[in-house]
Amino acid sequence: MALADPALPDFRDCIDATQPNKTLINCCPPAVSGINDYVPSATTVNTRISAQSVEVGSDYYNKYTEAIQKMKNLSPSDPRNFRQQANVHCAYCDGGYTLQGSPKLLYEIHNSWLFFPWHRWYVYIFEKICQNLVDDDTFTLPFWNWDASQGMQIPSIYNSSVISPLYNCFRNPDHLPPTVIDLDWSYGDKPVDPNTQIKYNLAIMYTQMITQSKTPNDFFGKAYRAGDDITTLDGAGTIEQTPHNNVHSWTGTAVDQSNPIDMGALYSAARDPIFFAHHANVDRMWTIWLNNLGGSNFTDTDWLNAYFIFYNEEAKPVKVRVKDCLDITKLGYQYEDVPIPWLDVSVKPKPRAKAKTLPSAPDPAQVFPTTLDKPISVIVKRPKKSGTGSSEEILIIEGIEYDKRNYVKFNVFINEDNVNASRPDNTEFLGSFSNLPHGHRMTVKTNKKFRISQVLEELGARDYDKVLVTLIPKSSPVKINGIKIEFDS
């Protein structure tokens, strides 16, 4: 649908969401009435600082914990209450609202171009509530800079041994400091040497932010308009899946993947205060993509005019639009200037081995559709170029079907004859598909795309007429309906 209308939630009819264990949960905010439009017009710009730079017991730490504790102490019926704020994420992300004009379709802000702007507004409103509660308009939330070596573990302020409102007992005990985060973590992955993991993480950041994020569709995710069924869209942008999803699951998911909680599942993710530091850094990726990598925002009015409703720092409902959050200085914040090591081409993934001949796929040839319950390899023909255009080739994993209540992840390799030897800092590793557990049962059918022209050039496979693609399951099985290559439209 081109130029339809924005996808909007129906605020008149909030319904129970569903936890991954299939029990209902009421995430609905207090009834909304008297909604006013909100347009930010900050006159001063405050700096969000790295959570790793904050010391337990410092003035900043004391003010931050004071804000969160006061939020937790508010009446449960106050929409600014910490649990109520967590429920906002649950309602918007776990099927609490239906789509305006399409009451049989659930509204969802993940897996589309709404992911980045909705979370920017959400973190901003949360920050404004904190400012109000400590009577300090200069207070800002910290960001967890998991994209740089000094930030690649849970910040100490969230893991303080003293009683703290920033602590959460439902984090994965195997991943507490000094464990280095794995930005492409999967269940069952064995830890590697910390310095090696840092190297892998930087390579993943390069791949996701540079190699695979050439256009707004790549970075933000696909369009989501009025009447669209979110379960059939091509879906999430590069950063939403990796590293965003993996930081969630690494932080909050217990060893038993059948019962993810808090950061490990969308309905409960914002119950952990570290959620807001995580998403502040996701928001920072948006600013880096625009300012350092030449990215650009959508100009489509269906994106710009999409709006959301939140309760502000005065507990009053306000309507906020995507177009009004694009300039963060008007929102009154900026990010501390910290090192961005993954911008250096030296961390770029390198070929494990330049193949002189195309690796062979096993016989018999893979037939689709298939259930991805074991590794599969398939030879995929490349399309022939027509004309003199320079369109890039896109590898498409077609018709990925799964239940959104489940943790889902699989890895994708190209021209790799030994996936056990390939690492995240190898060019042969294209990346992953992942899903964080949602609530309502939704059978999703979507695609995953990878840009491969540059990759094939680096692998010495520019002139091959076909490639070998290998999928490695890392979770419960999903259905795959096909694999193909086409030129970017």
Q: CB under 8 Å to 62, separation ≥6 — which residues? A: none
CA 129/CA 131 separation, integer angstroms = 5
**Residue scoring higher pLDDT (255 or 34):** 34
283-297, 349-363, 396-410: least confidently modelled range: 349-363
Decide if 245 contacts 207 (C-beta within 8 A).
no
Residue 485: strand, helix, or coil: strand
DSSP labels, 179-233:
PPP-TT--TTPPP--HHHHHHHHHHHHHIIIIIT--SHHHHHB---BTT--GGGS
Q: What is the pTM of this model?
A: 0.95
Residue 449: strand, helix, or coil: strand
pLDDT band at 258 (very low <50, low <70, confident <90, very high): low
pLDDT, tens digit (0-9, with 9 covering 90-100), for 38-68: 999 899 999 999 999 999 999 999 999 999 9
Tell whether the model's pLDDT for residue 94 goes beyond 90.
no
CA 334/CA 57 separation, integer angstroms = 24
Decide if 411 contacts 199 (C-beta within 8 A).
no
Q: What is the mean pLDDT of the chain?
A: 91
Mean pLDDT over residues 79-85, rounded?
A: 96
| Burial grade of 7 (CB within 10 A; 0-12, 13-18, 19 or more) | buried
Percent of the chain clearing pLDDT 70 (strictly above): 93
Decide if 48 contacts 336 (C-beta within 8 A).
yes
| Pairing mode of beta strands 443-451, 370-371 | unpaired
Q: Please report the pLDDT score of residue 335 as a whole number.
A: 98
**Phi/psi of residue 201, each to 5°?**
-60, -40
**Phi/psi of residue 345, each to 5°?**
-65, -15
| Pairing mode of beta strands 466-473, 408-414 | antiparallel
Distance of CA 11 to the CA centre of its chain: 24
Q: Please report the pLDDT score of residue 356 as a whole number.
A: 60
Where residue 266 falls (left for φ over 0; alpha for ψ -120 to 50; beta otherwise) is alpha
**Phi/psi of residue 239, each to 5°?**
-75, -35
Tell whether the model's pLDDT for residue 3 goes beyond 70.
no
Decide if 208 contacts 239 (C-beta within 8 A).
yes
Decide if 67 contacts 139 (C-beta within 8 A).
yes
Residue written as token pair 């650009």: 296
CA angle 22, 279, 16 (to 5 degrees): 25
Specify the amino acid at residue 78: D
Give, to the nearest 10 degrees, the angle between helix 59-73 and helix 82-93: 80
Distance in Å from the first CA to the final CA of the chain: 16
Tell whether the model's pLDDT for residue 193 goes beyond 80.
yes
Closest among 143, 117, 177 to 64, alpha carbons compared: 143
Q: CB under 8 Å to 28, separation ≥6 — which residues? A: 14, 15, 16, 87, 91, 96
Mean pLDDT over residues 71-99, rounded?
A: 92
Q: Please report the pLDDT score of residue 2 as a whole number.
A: 42
Decide if 9 contacts 93 (C-beta within 8 A).
no
Closest among 441, 438, 323 to 91, alpha carbons compared: 438
CA 109/CA 217 separation, integer angstroms = 15
pLDDT, tens digit (0-9, with 9 covering 90-100), for 300-352: 999 999 999 999 999 999 999 999 999 999 999 999 999 999 999 999 999 99
CA 113/CA 222 separation, integer angstroms = 5
- Give the number of other Cβ atoms within 10 Å of residue 214's Cβ: 17
pLDDT, tens digit (0-9, with 9 covering 90-100), for 357-386: 777 777 677 889 999 999 999 999 999 876
Residue 458: strand, helix, or coil: helix
CA 458/CA 477 separation, integer angstroms = 32
Beta strands in 255-369 (DSSP E): 307-311, 317-321, 333-335
Closest among 230, 233, 202 to 217, alpha carbons compared: 233
Decide if 381 contacts 365 (C-beta within 8 A).
no
pLDDT, tens digit (0-9, with 9 covering 90-100), for 442-453: 788 999 999 999
Per-residue tokens: 133: 């509660």
Q: Please report the pLDDT score of residue 33 as a whole number.
A: 79
Q: Please report the pLDDT score of residue 260 as a whole number.
A: 67
- Write the CA distances from 180 to 87, 251, 282, 448, integer angstroms: 30, 11, 18, 28
pLDDT band at 440 (very low <50, low <70, confident <90, very high): low
| Burial grade of 2 (CB within 10 A; 0-12, 13-18, 19 or more) | exposed
Decide if 409 contacts 474 (C-beta within 8 A).
yes
Greatest Cα pair distance in the chain:
69
B/e letters for 31-44, b = 16+ CB within 10 Å, e = fewer, are: ebeeeeebebeeee
